[in-house]
Chain A
Amino acid sequence: MDSNNKLRDHFPEEMNLKSSIDDFLRELEEKEKDLNISDEMVIEVEDDEIEESEIPEFLKTDLPSSSGAFGENLYAQIKMHEPEIKAVELTSQVQPSQLKELENRIGELKTTMARRQMDFDNYRKRIERERGDTFQNQISNLATQMLPVLDNLNRALDAASHFKGEQSNGFQQFFDGIALVNQQLSEVFSEMGIQPVMTVGEMFNPHFHEAVATENTNEIPPNTITEEFLRGYRLGDKLIRAAMVRVAAPAG
């Protein structure tokens, strides 16, 4: 038997020289490994196989000489200290109701803590999500404030273009200059990613357009935008301002 031989080789008489529990355990472990002992295996050891003389020395000192005597000894000790134990019990006695209350309180605090933790996690996730939008939101806020200025500049140019012909050369040059400023402003918006909302000829879509009037006609399909009153703008998918439009409705 190969394995048996090996076992003997590995564990010579040193077995008897073990000096501490640690060494003993370590050796036991190695033994187990080599024996391939698993949980499922049951090792039967017959009582009479162990002889008093075979018990290692350190185990003898750890154990009381006879279990019965040890039990009696402990009992006697408890008996002796009984008055003291009683006294301690009395002073530290907690009413069951108080205990219950404290337990409830701990339970409550635990739930509160769990809730706060959950709230905080949600909060953190949301802030992370919103951080991505912050830049977009700032552009969109700025644009919301600035768009009326652009509108009014456009209105000024529209109004002036009606009497262009009647004006002096000087006015014409001034007008052209202002038109360039307007163009520049539009370019700034467009560079920020702000695009005008398409209107005339498109189908009315309340996600981007605000209908302020209707036009009864059968010449074009209903719900087609026929006129833009106020230009709308969007930043990617986000609407900054809805375009104010007139929409075709079936006549009659």
Chain B
Amino acid sequence: MSKVIGIDLGTTNCCVSVLEGGTVQIIPNKEGGRTMPSVVGFTEKGDRLVGQIAKRQAVTNPANTLHAVKRLIGRKYNSPEVEKMRGNVPFEIVEAPNGDAHIRVLDKTYSPPEISAIVLQRLKQAAEEFLGDTISEAIITVPAYFDDIQRQATRDAGKIAGLTVERIINEPTSAALAYGFDKNKNEKVAVYDLGGGTFDITILEINDGVFEVLSTSGNTFLGGEDFDQRIIDWLVETFQKENKIDLREDRLALQRLKEGAERAKCELSSVSETTINLPFIAADPSGPKHINIVLSRTKFEELVADLVESSVEPCQKALWDAKLQPGDIDKVILVGGQTRSPIITKTVTELFGKAPSTEINPDEVVAMGAAIQGGVMSGDVKDIILLDVLPLSLGLETRGGLFVKLISRNATIPLKNTMTFTTVVDNQQSVEIHIMQGEREIASANRSLGRFDLVGIPLAPRGVPQIDVSFEVDANGIVNVSAKDKMTGLEQAMQITPSSGLAPEEIDRLIMEAETSANMDVKAKDLILQKNKLDSLIKNAQRAMSEYGRTMPQEQQQQINTALNNAEVYLQSENLDDIKMALADVEQQTNKITEALMAAV
């Protein structure tokens, strides 16, 4: 009866939640945040840092600090997305023997699922601390356009982190789940998701608890961070015009500008103008300079107009692909922090002709839906059935490199479909069955899942032999493909198990490794806690000595001070036993001080 947690594993941030007492709870992390940056850092000392802490050391350790790994998961090294990313990140992306994109950090190569597992493990820990119970099951969300391999890679990441992934669900589906739906109605929902670094628009159809993705579109390099940058640029330019000082060269000034811009952006969601107040931002011979500037919502909207505009086209494309008019959409849901800006609400309202739903926190809505699905899995929620659908179409490559679909996407699984094919040349004795997944007409643009040959077809003119090809998808997403020559009864078959590119024994090894390093993390945490304790004990004792030490005999004063100084040395130690010893010693000295004080009173 243990809980199934819901995880939104985002490109820039992630969020974990759980259903408790019938309501969804967002689980805060150790640092108190409700979302955590999807960043992992490796240090020379062998520590693994996650989230905000990893982000803080990115500047000193850029090659070993990994972010946006979601863009690599389940992808080949030479795919266009990975190629684009290679030029943009300071860490090294390498080609694995199987052609997958892997990451090299400190002379060790990691697959993207391993890195995601580190993030997932941290979320799992936070959930366990929050619930006071071990957690072993999760629902993880992925973008609607993820193919089987990317989904399986995400599943593997969960497995490595010690989580059984009960379901992988689409992010827009999850958001729609969080808002709830009328079971007896057929609804079309548009989910507008403007996150930290990516923009996705998805049109869903909800019918009898079946969520179908009608179309999806977006821009993988558009996000809230671009909006902040516009404000920063404007501040820098305005300041330069007035004072002839370029703030871009001053790291601290830039950091303050970034915080000021973020705050102003948030405030402009509720008020029509805000003051950005950054005193003493710079100085020149004439004296200190301040930023004290009013940013109106109108000005802000002017600064970001083209960014907002660039989200409109994908929306129109999604509608077109779904063969729908804006008026056909019953509900619009906003996801991602940036959608809080009124200009987004306004644009979306104009686009779809209706006001979007905004009741649920757009940063948390996806994780919340996943938690609800987790509740369905654990039996906490009864009245929702979310059927599994095939995310992308399955089919074959045929003559001329064309792709023929045997099973269309959104079909509810399990299911089976058969189609008859024939030969293309006279006396053709074998046919190649090339199994592919995707939506494109051109076979090479889709993803290859596997291939086999059916040989021993009797000599015949082209077009005469009849070959039945059947595709069967079972409830676990495993695809069985068979080809049968109708005349001879000759049959060949192949099973395609969803694979992320990691072999099962490799995953088992990674699970072991992940467990070991989780234990190491616990040790490292203990070390830090003990050090902090030692630090404050020494400081307090020193303060007591400086204030009341005089009342003690000279000899004792000296003895205590020496002991404290000796203990201070251990603050640099990495050995827990040493620190514990020093702690005991300082405690002893503190007792002596207290005794002396008591005696003096």
Residues of A within 8 A of B (CB): 108, 111, 114-116, 118-120, 122-123, 125-126, 152, 155-156, 158-159, 162-163, 203-204, 206-207, 209-214, 223, 229-230, 236-237, 239, 242, 244, 246-247, 249
B287 interfacial by beta-carbon distance below 8 Å: yes
A108 to B380, CA, bound (A): 10
A119 to B1, CA, bound (A): 11
Is A211 within 8 A of B60, CB to CB?
yes
Interface string of B276-297 (1 = CB under 8 A from A): 0001100100011000000000
Give, as a whole number of angstroms, the nearest-CB distance from B382 to chain A.
8
CB-CB under 8 A from A237, the residues of chain B are: 529, 532-533
A-B contact pairs, 8 of them (CB 8 A): A108-B382, A114-B1, A116-B22, A125-B132, A156-B280, A206-B53, A212-B59, A242-B56
CB-CB under 8 A from A247, the residues of chain B are: 59-60
B131 interfacial by beta-carbon distance below 8 Å: yes
Known: A159-B283, A223-B60. A111 touches B131 (CB 8 A): no
Give, as a whole number of angstroms, the nearest-CB distance from A121 to chain B.
9
Known: A155-B280, A212-B255. A122 touches B57 (CB 8 A): no
Interface string of B53-66 (1 = CB under 8 A from A): 11011111000000
Is A214 within 8 A of B279, CB to CB?
no
Give, as a whole number of angstroms, the nearest-CB distance from B31 to chain A.
8
Is B280 within 8 A of A122, CB to CB?
no
Known: A206-B49, A230-B252. A211 touches B57 (CB 8 A): yes
Is B255 within 8 A of A119, CB to CB?
no
Is A206 within 8 A of B57, CB to CB?
yes
B residues 236-253 near A (Cβ < 8 Å) are 251-252
CB-CB under 8 A from A204, the residues of chain B are: 57, 60
Is A156 within 8 A of B252, CB to CB?
no
CB-CB under 8 A from B283, the residues of chain A are: 159, 162
A180 to B323, CA, bound (A): 71
Give, as a whole number of angstroms, the nearest-CB distance from B525 to chain A.
9
Closest to B23 in A: A119
Is A213 within 8 A of B59, CB to CB?
yes
State the main secondary structure of chain A at its contact with B: mixed
Of the candidates B54, B252, B529, the one having the most CB atoms from chain A within 10 angstroms of its own CB is B252
Give, as a whole number of angstroms, the nearest-CB distance from B150 to chain A.
30
B21 interfacial by beta-carbon distance below 8 Å: yes
A163 to B31, CA, bound (A): 42
Known: A119-B20, A163-B287, A212-B251. A158 touches B280 (CB 8 A): yes
Is B379 within 8 A of A214, CB to CB?
no
CB-CB under 8 A from A244, the residues of chain B are: 252, 255
Give, as a whole number of angstroms, the nearest-CB distance from A197 to chain B.
11
CB-CB under 8 A from B21, the residues of chain A are: 116, 119-120, 123
State the main secondary structure of chain B at its contact with A: mixed
CB-CB under 8 A from B252, the residues of chain A are: 212, 229-230, 244
CB-CB under 8 A from B382, the residues of chain A are: 108
7 closest Cβ contacts across the A-B interface?
Answer: A155-B280, A159-B288, A206-B57, A229-B252, A210-B56, A119-B21, A211-B59
A43 to B532, CA, bound (A): 74
Give, as a whole number of angstroms, the nearest-CB distance from B209 to chain A.
19
Is A229 within 8 A of B255, CB to CB?
yes
B130 interfacial by beta-carbon distance below 8 Å: yes
Of the candidates B49, B280, B532, B536, the one having the most CB atoms from chain A within 10 angstroms of its own CB is B280
B41 interfacial by beta-carbon distance below 8 Å: yes
B328 interfacial by beta-carbon distance below 8 Å: no
Give, as a whole number of angstroms, the nearest-CB distance from B54 to chain A.
7
CB-CB under 8 A from A214, the residues of chain B are: 59-60
B266 interfacial by beta-carbon distance below 8 Å: no
B residues 14-43 near A (Cβ < 8 Å) are 20-22, 31, 41
A237 to B533, CA, bound (A): 8
Is B529 within 8 A of A111, CB to CB?
no
B residues 404-452 near A (Cβ < 8 Å) are none
Give, as a whole number of angstroms, the nearest-CB distance from A111 to chain B.
7
A118 to B20, CA, bound (A): 9
B496 interfacial by beta-carbon distance below 8 Å: no
Give, as a whole number of angstroms, the nearest-CB distance from B397 to chain A.
50
A204 to B31, CA, bound (A): 19
CB-CB under 8 A from B131, the residues of chain A are: 122
A230 to B56, CA, bound (A): 14
A206 to B53, CA, bound (A): 5
Is A122 within 8 A of B59, CB to CB?
no
Give, as a whole number of angstroms, the nearest-CB distance from B536 to chain A.
7
Closest to A249 in B: B60
Closest to B379 in A: A111
CB-CB under 8 A from A210, the residues of chain B are: 56
B133 interfacial by beta-carbon distance below 8 Å: yes
CB-CB under 8 A from A249, the residues of chain B are: 60
CB-CB under 8 A from B1, the residues of chain A are: 111, 114-115, 118
CB-CB under 8 A from B572, the residues of chain A are: 203
Closest to B32 in A: A137
CB-CB under 8 A from B536, the residues of chain A are: 236
| The one of A114, A203, A206, A242 that contacts B41, using a Cβ cutoff of 8 Å | A206
Closest to A243 in B: B56
CB-CB under 8 A from A114, the residues of chain B are: 1
Is B56 within 8 A of A209, CB to CB?
yes
Is A152 within 8 A of B56, CB to CB?
no
Is A211 within 8 A of B287, CB to CB?
no
Give, as a whole number of angstroms, the nearest-CB distance from B532 to chain A.
5
- 18 other contacts beyond A207-B528, A211-B59, A229-B251, with CB at 8 A cut-off? A111-B379, A114-B1, A115-B1, A115-B380, A120-B21, A126-B130, A152-B280, A155-B279, A155-B288, A156-B279, A156-B280, A162-B283, A204-B57, A206-B49, A212-B251, A213-B251, A242-B56, A244-B255
A122 to B60, CA, bound (A): 41
Closest to A246 in B: B251
